[in-house]
Amino acid sequence: MTDHRGKILLVDDDKFFLKVLSDAFRDAGFEVVTAPDGLAGVQAFSEHLPDAVISDLVMPRMGGVSTCLEISRLAGDRDPVIVLLTSMFQGAPHEHQEPEMGAKVHIPKSTKPLDIVIIVEQLLDRKRRGAGAA
């Protein structure tokens, strides 16, 4: 199937989690690009221009907040969906009106990979509908 549902950039230093999340997005029909830390994530964003970025919060070399802020700056008007995964809070995924710590959406890292995929699909669908209505 060559008709991808979108391109996702996953940034996380946890290799196992990265694999599990990559598999979940690929199974849902997304093209997946991965990066092992924030610096590599920013570079991968520039090269691949994904529709959504999902970044871990705590990583070596460049943390999630700096990564998300830098990607937002580089993206300019493209405005990709940026999600921050964090184990610092529990509870439901939370969406902010204005980006907080570089991302409008914060998802607990304990969230099941399939649920993360569903949340990102909904965000991308809403963004596409919003862009079409403008």
Nearest to 53 by CA among 132, 128, 107: 107
**Which tokens is 100 given?**
């907080």
Residue 36 lies in a domain: yes
Structural Rg of the chain based on CA atoms? 13
Q: Rounded mean pLDDT of the chain?
A: 89
What pTM value is reported for the model?
A: 0.90
How many C-beta neighbours within 10 Å does residue 128 have?
12
Residue 134 lies in a domain: no
Report whether pLDDT(1) > 50.
Answer: no
- Model confidence pLDDT, tens digit, residues 77-102: 888 999 999 877 667 788 888 888 78
Full domain range(s) for residue 34: 7-128
Calculate the CA dihedral of residues 62, 98, 128, 53 and round it to 10 degrees: 10
Query: CA torsion angle for 25, 28, 30, 35 (degrees, to 10)?
Result: 10
**Domain CATH for 59:** 3.40.50.2300
| For residues 107-134, average pLDDT | 86
The number of domains in the chain is: 1
Is 90 part of a structural domain of the chain?
yes
The band of 30, judged by pLDDT with boundaries at 50, 70 and 90, is: very high
Read off the pLDDT of residues 51-77 as tens digits, 9 standing for 90 and up.
999 999 988 888 888 999 999 999 988
| Residue reference for tokens 């991308």 | 124
